[in-house]
Amino acid sequence: MKSSVRIASLDDAETITILINSAFRIAEGFFIEEDRINLEGVQNYFTTGRFLVTAIDDIPAACVYIEPRGERAYLGLLSVEPARQHNGLGKLLMDAAEEFCRELGCRFMDLNVVNLREELFGFYRRRGYVETGTSPFPADVVTKLPCHFIDMSKLLTT
């Protein structure tokens, strides 16, 4: 099993959409019923940032979105194909995303975690992320339970 990380192209948008929705359907199904994103939404992300994709034997298995914002960068939509979760692909993508942003001159990486996704806090804390505040969940998304984002950030040391 050979894995690689690459910058995605717009040609990957449909695959990325499927990957994100399959991962988030499993993880967020207890509080949200809709798909996490549609093809147009993924295509729009290509205008503001980049996706990194991890492929195993040339088949996309995980992705993450990164958006440089001056000395800060935003990371979101970390998604691993459900059958391949807990095999280090999330860590591999996080390492690649942080390095990519360091090379762009970003000093901090910011992300948001839904407060109901308690299993994620340990993953990000072990990577050096700290809680910096909260922000509202998108008002246009219908949820089964009230929720909000916990904002987290990490200093990207060289």
Model confidence at 47: pLDDT above 90 = yes
Of 47, 52, 49, 44, whose CA–CA distance to 19 is shortest? 52
- What is the rounded average pLDDT of the residues 69-94? 93
Model confidence at 63: pLDDT above 60 = yes
Model confidence at 116: pLDDT above 90 = yes
pLDDT of residue 1: 57
Between residues 65 and 141, the one the model is more confident about: 65
User: Amino acid identity of 124?
Assistant: Y
- What is the rounded average pLDDT of the residues 91-113? 96
- What is the rounded average pLDDT of the residues 47-67? 93
Output the CA–CA distances (angstroms, integers) from residue 85 to 34, 81, 82, in the order listed.
21, 6, 5
What structural domains and CATH numbers belong to the chain?
3-111 (3.40.630.30)
132 contact partners, CB below 8 Å, separation of at least 6: 110, 151, 152, 153
